[in-house]
A and B are shown apart, each in its own frame.
Chain A
């Protein structure tokens, strides 16, 4: 497969997930609950971000036993996370034939200077970003899908909102710019000029862009869709809620019908308590996951 064909199928899979919810799961049972609720894909993990945050220690790629068990329990795509820069973990996940790799700041970074050269892989990658420059750096390394970083495991949507708004403002600025201004802008953002030209032409990122990090309620999911997300990742928000199945279904409905407040009101009823949230300023600097990677 040449690069153009690889982009078609790998960016294409993300296009098929649009309007959908990707859910973090740690067991085959949770994976089935997610699929039954209407998830478009699951993220196979050993610990959800809220537990990684609480328990501390080095967070690594999930044990292949867990990934395989989850793969055999559902028919929807299975994704899994690797540490930033850990291309050997990525090789292992490719050998396991997961459908998408998330090079994720939620795990402890393995390389503080270099992200994985994702062009080297046949399997697609999704990466986090906080602004347009970061998104385009990941795309130039070969990412086929982008998500906002948000602040995972907090149940607090404020950082995801900040990152999505920043990204969208950057894109509208670039779209309005004259061609002459693009090189200076590329320098300022630290991104490739070629990709910046593509953003200007398309008026959006050249790949699908999901929201992630802190989404805990149907209203959160709808908010992110309104801000321009193509779909949402929900991590701890589902299986740390009182009634995971009900919350999962409600977030699926809210992501589809984000523009219909009557549906949103009805799916938001009687969900039980959402996951307990964390105020971002209460976290010390070294506990902020979004600042991992560049």
Chain B
């Protein structure tokens, strides 16, 4: 069972993206929804709104406990902010700058590069944050114009773009599912 934080944001897009490759998904809105989940997805949305709703719904502490126990987690866009320094669950040693590209006029679709490979995939950036600094414990997974746009530390994966909006490209969802099923190969990303 994989949970998707369902308080606000593009929850249904993540749900259909995951359902195309994994059979059981649960929308998480309250602490009891966490029982039995093997992975958690934090969708795109507004991080300020989500943070308030996480606190008021009583999810802050139980999710933190699960993350510290190593629960696989994948944050896209707003989810990245929640899982980085200054976020509500800072399990990744990364610093992010919110809305770093500017207003919606600067949102765009790019062809970003998978780190260490000559592979480019479409990446949708919507009022995206920038990962401006990472510690040595953080593995850089993808880059766009010199900016870090995807990272991994332990079982946590962050993408500042929206893989769920380009569902034909399964690279990142597969990476997360590998973490969930425990078969994490050294990397589908580095051959």
User: What chain A residues lie within 8 Å of B3 (beta carbons)?
Assistant: none
User: What chain B residues lie within 8 Å of A13 (beta carbons)?
Assistant: 104, 107, 126-127
Q: How far is the CB of B184 from chain A (nearest CB, A)?
A: 29
User: What chain A residues lie within 8 Å of B166 (beta carbons)?
Assistant: 8
User: Which listed segment binds B: A34-42, A103-111, A179-187?
Assistant: A34-42
Of A1, A76, A253, A257, the residue contacting B46 (CB under 8 A) is A76
User: What chain B residues lie within 8 Å of A253 (beta carbons)?
Assistant: 53, 56
B92 in the interface (beta carbon within 8 A): no
B8 in contact with A256 (CB, 8 Å): yes
A128 in the interface (beta carbon within 8 A): no
Report the count of interface residues on B (CB-CB < 8 A).
Answer: 37
Of A9, A20, A40, A122, the residue contacting B126 (CB under 8 A) is A9
A8 in contact with B109 (CB, 8 Å): yes
User: What chain A residues lie within 8 Å of B45 (beta carbons)?
Assistant: 16-20, 40
CA distance A91 to B104 in the complex (A): 15
User: What chain A residues lie within 8 Å of B8 (beta carbons)?
Assistant: 18-20, 40, 256
Q: Which residue of B lies closest to A39 (CB)?
A: B49
CA distance A100 to B105 in the complex (A): 9
Those of A1-39 within 8 Å (CB) of chain B: 1, 5, 8-10, 12-13, 15-20, 35, 37-39
CA distance A64 to B113 in the complex (A): 39
User: What chain B residues lie within 8 Å of A257 (beta carbons)?
Assistant: 29, 57
In the complex where A8-B165, A123-B104 touch, is A20 in contact with B46 (Cβ < 8 A)?
yes
B103 in the interface (beta carbon within 8 A): yes
B108 in contact with A1 (CB, 8 Å): yes
CA distance A10 to B77 in the complex (A): 15
A12 in contact with B165 (CB, 8 Å): yes
Of A8, A17, A75, A97, the residue contacting B48 (CB under 8 A) is A75
Q: How far is the CB of B115 from chain A (nearest CB, A)?
A: 23
B49 in contact with A20 (CB, 8 Å): yes
User: What chain A residues lie within 8 Å of B108 (beta carbons)?
Assistant: 1, 5, 9
CA distance A19 to B78 in the complex (A): 14
Q: How far is the CB of B144 from chain A (nearest CB, A)?
A: 14
A16 in contact with B109 (CB, 8 Å): no
Contact with A along B91-110 (1 / 0, CB 8 A): 00000001100111101110
Interface centre among B12, B46, B127 (most CB of A within 10 A): B46
A234 in the interface (beta carbon within 8 A): no
CA distance A171 to B178 in the complex (A): 39
Contact with A along B36-50 (1 / 0, CB 8 A): 000000001110110
Report the count of interface residues on A (CB-CB < 8 A).
Answer: 35
Of A19, A77, A124, A260, the residue contacting B11 (CB under 8 A) is A19
B77 in contact with A16 (CB, 8 Å): yes
User: What chain B residues lie within 8 Å of A97 (beta carbons)?
Assistant: 102-105
Those of B52-73 within 8 Å (CB) of chain A: 52-53, 56-57
In the complex where A38-B52, A75-B48, A97-B105 touch, is A18 in contact with B9 (Cβ < 8 A)?
yes
CA distance A100 to B103 in the complex (A): 10
A99 in the interface (beta carbon within 8 A): yes
Q: How far is the CB of B170 from chain A (nearest CB, A)?
A: 17
Contact with B along A243-258 (1 / 0, CB 8 A): 0000000001100110
B107 in contact with A38 (CB, 8 Å): no
CA distance A41 to B162 in the complex (A): 19
CA distance A77 to B46 in the complex (A): 9
User: What chain B residues lie within 8 Å of A98 (beta carbons)?
Assistant: 103
Q: Give 14 CB contacts A-B under 8 Å.
A: A1-B108, A9-B104, A9-B108, A12-B162, A16-B9, A16-B10, A16-B45, A16-B46, A40-B46, A76-B48, A252-B53, A256-B29, A257-B29, A257-B57
Further contacts, 20 of them, CB under 8 A, given A12-B107, A13-B126 = A5-B108, A9-B126, A12-B124, A13-B127, A15-B13, A16-B127, A17-B46, A18-B11, A19-B11, A38-B49, A41-B46, A75-B98, A76-B49, A97-B105, A98-B103, A124-B104, A252-B52, A253-B56, A256-B29, A256-B53
Measuring CB to CB, which residues of chain A are less than 8 angstroms from any residue of chain B?
1, 5, 8-10, 12-13, 15-20, 35, 37-41, 75-77, 94, 97-100, 122-124, 252-253, 256-257, 260
List the 10 closest A-B pairs by CB distance, nearest first.
Answer: A99-B104, A5-B109, A9-B107, A19-B8, A97-B103, A38-B52, A15-B10, A40-B46, A38-B49, A16-B44
